[in-house]
Amino acid sequence: MITTPNHAPRAPVRPTLVRSAQGDRVDPYYWLRDDSRENPEVLAHLAAENAYTERCLAPWKPVQEEIFREIVGRIPPEEASVPYLELGYWYYSRYEAGREHPIYARRRGTLEAPEEVVLDANERASGHEYYQVGALEVSPNGEWLAVSEDFVGRREYTLAFKNLRTGEWLSERIADVEAGMAWANDDATVVYVEKDRETLLGRFVKRHRLGTDPLADTLLFEQSDPSFYTGVSKSKSHRFVFLHMESTVSSEWRFAEAADPTLEFRVFLPHRRDHEYQIEHVGERFIVRSNWQARNFRLLEAPIGEYDSPAPWRELVAHREDTYIEDFEPFERFVAVSVRHAALARIAIHPLGESTFAPRFVTSDESAYTMALSINPGLTGDVVRYAYSSLTTPTTIYDYDVRTGERILRKRDAVLGGFDPAAYRTELIFAPARDGARIPVSLVCRRDVRRDGSAPLLQYAYGAYGLSMDPAFSSARLSLLERGFVYAIAHVRGGQELGRAWYDAGRMQAKRHSFEDFIDVTRHLVAEGYAAADRVYAMGGSAGGLLIGAVANLAPGAYRGMVAQVPFVDVVTTMLDDGIPLTTNEYDEWGDPADPADYAYMLSYSPYDNVRAQDYPALLVTTGLWDSQVQYYEPAKWVAKLRAFRTDDRPVLLHVELDAGHGGKAGRFERHRETALEYAFLLALEDARGAGDATG
């Protein structure tokens, strides 16, 4: 049981007027917002929340530690990735026993050559409570490293440079940048994106020359439209530096010759609403993934010099109503295409030019799985590297020979502790929605768990931004499965598992479908005997945390407990504030509050605004003080309001990572402490059920 001591933290009510052209609202807990993260009263309140959660779960601390040891015990102490060859070096990453962060290394020419350490992230993390590598790129001649590093958890990266011949770091460092960068072909110039200091959006595309003062860096482009995310990358051919801009419903790519000292960018195709595209370069053409006259996208080719209109582009892979083209990897003789069909992520191979083989899918031995393109740096050859996983199969790296159809196993993640995939079963089913739609659901449990309506169920979903939640393996999840849980991923509308139409049916003024789908999946699983009606738990993070908050308001009686990870719950107030990171990029995801209809619709489901006097499930809410995606004060305010309005005595707990951001703790092992906390919370609720009381 969860012990709930008296005197849970009570945030004082200090009414603040939130103004809008659509009508003003009073926010009783707005004062919890502190952009500096230094207000003593706010920090004291967050510390009190952490202390309260610790006290409530104190009897379950041994279980939490047991689960943490289980999770860590399944991870091999030493592990290495599959090497890949690029510009004369074999690159890989590896972990050493007892260390939290990877070592990035390479060998020149052959795998028998001496190892060269490119970056030891453990050394860089030393002395910091948080450390994460954003991206790293080696110069074309192999002599210089550029790496972006986050020391706070707020995704405000710092760019640093290392001489790989001497091992020395240059003194110049460039703060407040996006993670990605690209080398020019002179081996001395790096293109990067500097963030806006207030919104944290990528705004200034600059070039830096090694050994010079970053304050003198040349501005190549300034993003004036705050609805776009801006990034840079290098073409697979190494001929071009790309500048790409993406909003919810439109794209624009620009390219510059990487050998051009001025790095003058040319527009590939100007952005226009409802046209999304991306490009890659092969030979004398660009390969284009585009939704021009193709809702689920198609692949086309545009000769260099004939790219300013899509009309003359030649089609390579046609549009299909039942198949969504998600990504692609071009080679000289063929293109590998990541597609989604019937809720499964698959890889298709399509010939280019005079290639003689027929288009085909990479095959699988399971009926429910996910595939994704892996690292394929070269354009030549006939082998595609891809990653494969399922809810019962650990991540596996294959090389696929397009000539023979042979799959070559390169690595399967080891799971220590006697893991046997045959002890578990997985399936993909379709649950009926209230409007007749069929919602894909991925399920996994132990084979000895009976489908007789007695099992506990943890149901997870995300349902936003067109991001699909793949049925991938998790060794940490075994700690729940081994305790008899059924685990389900509800592929609700708002994701893209069933194509672009599935996404469009779960955003803007169709957003309620995401919440209703989740509830309908729960009811179906209970009706079909997958779970006991009084043993259902729900989990979601970020935009999935919005889903959890909305479902808590709409169907609180359907769930015994919920875990809301870094939840986006204060929709209207956040979307009214264009100074908060992400807001201006997301008017086409949630709605523009300047539009009366959008405003009213968001207000109708915003979890914080719709908390009311009713019973709620037990709740564990997590956040990070330095979160730049969902500001910490959203979940903090939500918890305060839930405590004030709820009519039951079930626990509402808030856990704040004071040294982390949106992704929680960094580190190979430490990041699982929060997972152990969440699982211990669920098990405590299960124990309380057996005792006939949710709170103790």
Residues that are catalytic: 542, 627, 662
| 3-class DSSP state of 346 | strand
Q: What is the 3-state secondary structure (H, E, C) of 607-670?
A: CCCCCCCCCCCEEEEEEECCCCCCCCHHHHHHHHHHHHHCCCCCCEEEEEECCCECCECCCCCC
Tokens describing residue 632: 């910490």
| 3-class DSSP state of 518 | helix
Residue with tokens 């954003």: 134
Residue with tokens 């040319």: 266
Residue spans of alpha helices (H) in 467-617: 478-481, 500-504, 512-527, 543-554, 571-576, 596-605
d(CA 278, CA 291): 10
DSSP helix, strand, coil percent of the chain (3-state; round to 5): 20, 35, 45
Q: For strand 189-195 and strand 202-209, is the pairing parallel, antiparallel, or unpaired?
A: antiparallel
Tokens describing residue 544: 């999935």
Please provide residue 460's backbone torsions phi and psi, each rounded to the nearest 5 degrees: -120, 150
Of 651, 641, 588, 646, the closest CA to residue 619 belongs to 651
Q: What b/e string do you get for 188-197 counting C-beta neighbours within 10 Å, with b at 16 or more?
A: bbbbbbbbee
d(CA 223, CA 200): 13
d(CA 66, CA 695): 22
d(CA 373, CA 384): 8
Q: Do 181 and 192 touch, CB atoms closer than 8 A? A: yes
d(CA 67, CA 49): 23
Beta strands in 28-131 (DSSP E): 79-80, 84-86, 89-95, 103-108, 115-120
User: What contacts 639, CB < 8 A, 6 or more positions away?
Assistant: 49, 619, 621, 652, 653, 654
Q: Which CA distances in Å does 436 have to 296, 324, 432, 518, 520?
A: 22, 22, 6, 14, 11
d(CA 117, CA 120): 7
Q: 328 forms bridges with which residues in the sheet?
A: 337
Please, what sign has the CA dihedral across residues 596, 598, 600, 606? negative
What is the CA 683 to chain-centroid distance, rounded? 26
Residue type, 153: G
Number of helices followed by number of strands (H, E) in the chain:
11, 38
Q: Which CA distances in Å does 551 have to 69, 561, 569, 618?
A: 33, 12, 11, 13
